[in-house]
Amino acid sequence: MADSFKIAAPHIGTTEYKEKSDSIPVDLLPSNKMVYLTKLNSKEEQEPDLTRCKNLKEVFSTFRPTNEVTINKQDGSEESVELEFNAMKDFGSMEIIQKNDYLQEKYNEVEILRNLKNLLEKPNSKLRKDLANPQKKEEFLNVLKSYIAKL
């Protein structure tokens, strides 16, 4: 208790003391988040060195965390990618996707399919009305097949 201090939470007739903590209570953490833990350097040190850093920018510039990741492609091949992290934002999914051409291509394909699905789900969508016409539906499918052939 020497390192922490107490804060008074006033109540009618009594005073309750709670320890102040900077950590986030478990019940406030979002349940839909995935936590991925990994070692972000390849150095094998015998004894850890004490390094004092004043802020996160200094931590990233000092330790230069990297991680080698293997991406399994749809054709069964694998691609090995070295990810470098220079700031906390580099751990975001979009930043990781932007560092690799294959991941960007797959992300764009998913976005196109998601947009198409959203168009088809709208009740008053022009695309939905056009697909009700058999001739326009056939033309649309031919256009899609030509795009698929180009990919």
Tell me: the pLDDT tens digits for 10-64?
Answer: 545 555 556 666 655 656 656 666 666 667 666 666 666 777 888 888 888 888 8
d(C-alpha 135, C-alpha 80), whole Å: 46
The encoded tokens of residue 143 equal: 């256009």
Contacts of 126 (CB under 8 A, 6+ apart): none
The domain locations on the chain are 51-99
Tokens 């986030």, residue located: 24
Out of 30-34, 104-108, 113-117, pick the least confident: 30-34
